[in-house]
Amino acid sequence: MIYLDYAATTPVRDEVVQTIQEALIESFGNPSSTYRIGKSTKYLLTQARKSLANLLNVSEHDIFFTSGATESNNWAIRSQAELARKLGKGNHIIVSAIEHPSVMETLVFLEQEGFEITYIHPNSDGEVTAAAFVKATKDQTIGWIAMAVNNEVGSILPVFELGELAREKSLWFHVDAVQALGHLDWDYSELACTSFVGSGHKFYAPKGIGFMVYQPWDKQMKLTPLIFGGGQEANKRSGTENVPYVLGMVRALELLAEEKNSILEHHNDLQNYLYDQLNQHQIAFERNGNPKAKVPYIHNIWLKDLMASQLLILMDLAGIYISAGSACSAGSLTDSKILKAYYPETPERWSQSIRLSFGKESTKADIDKFIIQIKKFIERK
């Protein structure tokens, strides 16, 4: 098996599995219980929150554990939008046009609830600019939304610049940081946003665990619960906490923090090798996204005149796993909305592009085998 789809999900590291297994066996108590085994489990949860806060350089009191980024995005956006409108601030939200479906579908819901949404498309250079957000802002604007790294093309958005401008304008600012966490050496205390989210299965932890950081600069903008019940997570997110997975997620981020330099170097090496091989084998291609600002582990490539749907089948039969867009669309393969936003005038690009994404275990030999299959596909045409 050759796995080149780490942006979709990552395998769970052995060290993380061990951490989870130990917690499942030895720390199974309910953190809300008042007796000893419950209190010991609560202590582990508290320590994990502190460790995550140290890794992100944020306050532990601003961290809320969730089931993943989809829940976190829904929660952060709906809470801030609905409360800002209730407080009479307005009903207009500005968002990049290349966001994850969990953000886009939340905004569709809010539009149906009477909110006005403005979508900022990439410019001709593939950039989503802060200037475009500022230009679209008006008196009724209440918040901005921009992801840190696009999950399909790997473009890095100017979230640090956007955050400073949003704070100056007293707008809430939400960041989907899923594809940045564990991959970019960022100090999140320098990211001026009112909320950002992460998902464990994107950095070698299990699926079904994630978090949201909520840190409003307007004291009136108190986080409202999305789930009601027993009052866990500071009465904001009810439901018995998944302590083993929380511990596993934090352990995964700790390990990546220790390895960040070597992993970044590894990804850069693979990136250079990939494009060298495509050029050496004279395969016609163009890179998708913003070439000036992108992560080295996600690569979206337009393979001219090669249908992505057919190429994915060939790769699958050869035991090579890649994708043609987001993996969060119930297994469907349709023209990418992200590529449509980037290249509205080049429809053939939408269906002829594939995504490769590297991880810790990816090798140059994996790329070699990928290239071989592309050449076979070209020869069959």
User: Do residues 309 and 324 touch, judged by C-beta distance below 8 A?
Assistant: yes
User: Do residues 176 and 197 touch, judged by C-beta distance below 8 A?
Assistant: yes
Residues 6+ apart with CB under 8 A from 26: none
User: Where would I find the beta strands (DSSP E) of the chain?
Assistant: 2-3, 63-66, 92-96, 116-120, 141-145, 172-176, 195-199, 210-214, 285-287, 298-303, 320-321, 353-357
**Does 328 qualify as catalytic in the annotation?**
yes
Residues 6+ apart with CB under 8 A from 330: none
Mind giving me the DSSP string for 6-63? TTT--PPPHHHHHHHHHHHHH--S-TT-SSHHHHHHHHHHHHHHHHHHHHHTS-GGGE
Structure tokens at 20: 């989870």
Beta-carbon count within 10 A of 379 CB: 7
- List 328, 347, 348, 363, catalytic entry: 328
Q: Minimal CA–CA distance to 64: which of 55, 76, 54?
A: 76
CA 32 – CA 12 distance, rounded (Å): 28
CA 23 – CA 41 distance, rounded (Å): 9
CA 76 – CA 3 distance, rounded (Å): 32
Q: Is 93 helix (H, G, I), strand (E, B) or coil?
A: strand
User: Do residues 291 and 126 touch, judged by C-beta distance below 8 A?
Assistant: yes
Catalytic positions: 328
